[in-house]
Amino acid sequence: MKKTLTIGIILLFLFSTLPIVIGNDLDENLIKYSLKTDNAYSPSIEFVIIYGKIVNHGDEMIGSILCYNFTPINVRFIDFYWYYFHGYSDYDFSSGRLTDDPYYLPYSQYFHGFVGQNHIFLWYWLMY
């Protein structure tokens, strides 16, 4: 119950206040910046949460990339993506379940959270 409540509060904060904060200042500043640089700058923001129950098979190299190797039992993800391109701003929101068996998730310097023997909770926030 606490986990569900915590995730709900995080999502409520993210999707109620973040668009207001971003919308008020960021659009105006980006328009000014892109006018100075002939529309050469197209920033994006992405926020992803991956959480749920897993069977962890340990770490595995896939080519030259070190990955988490796990079988998802009940793993969900939430993905929010916003972009700005030549004076046009839009966003995309998606959510769903991981179903691949096994699932390989690359290690990343951007991920925060944990991957345990039976549970996963990772999130990352990128601005590029």
> How high is the pLDDT of residue 111?
87
Domains held by the chain: number: 1
User: Which domain, by its residues, includes 72?
Assistant: 2-127
Q: What is the pLDDT of residues 32-75, one digit of tens each?
A: 555 454 445 567 889 999 999 999 999 999 889 999 999 999 99
Position 88 scores a pLDDT of 80
Q: Which residues of 30-39 are buried (b: 16+ CB within 10 A; e: fewer)?
A: beeebeeeee
Cis peptide before 106 (omega within 30 of 0): no
| pTM tops 0.75, yes or no | no
Q: For residue 121, name the pLDDT band (cuts at 50, 70, 90).
A: very high
What distances in angstroms separate CA 59 from CA 3, 10, 71, 92, 124, one per listed residue? 26, 29, 12, 31, 19
Q: What is the mean predicted confidence (pLDDT) over 89-95? A: 90
pLDDT at 122: 93
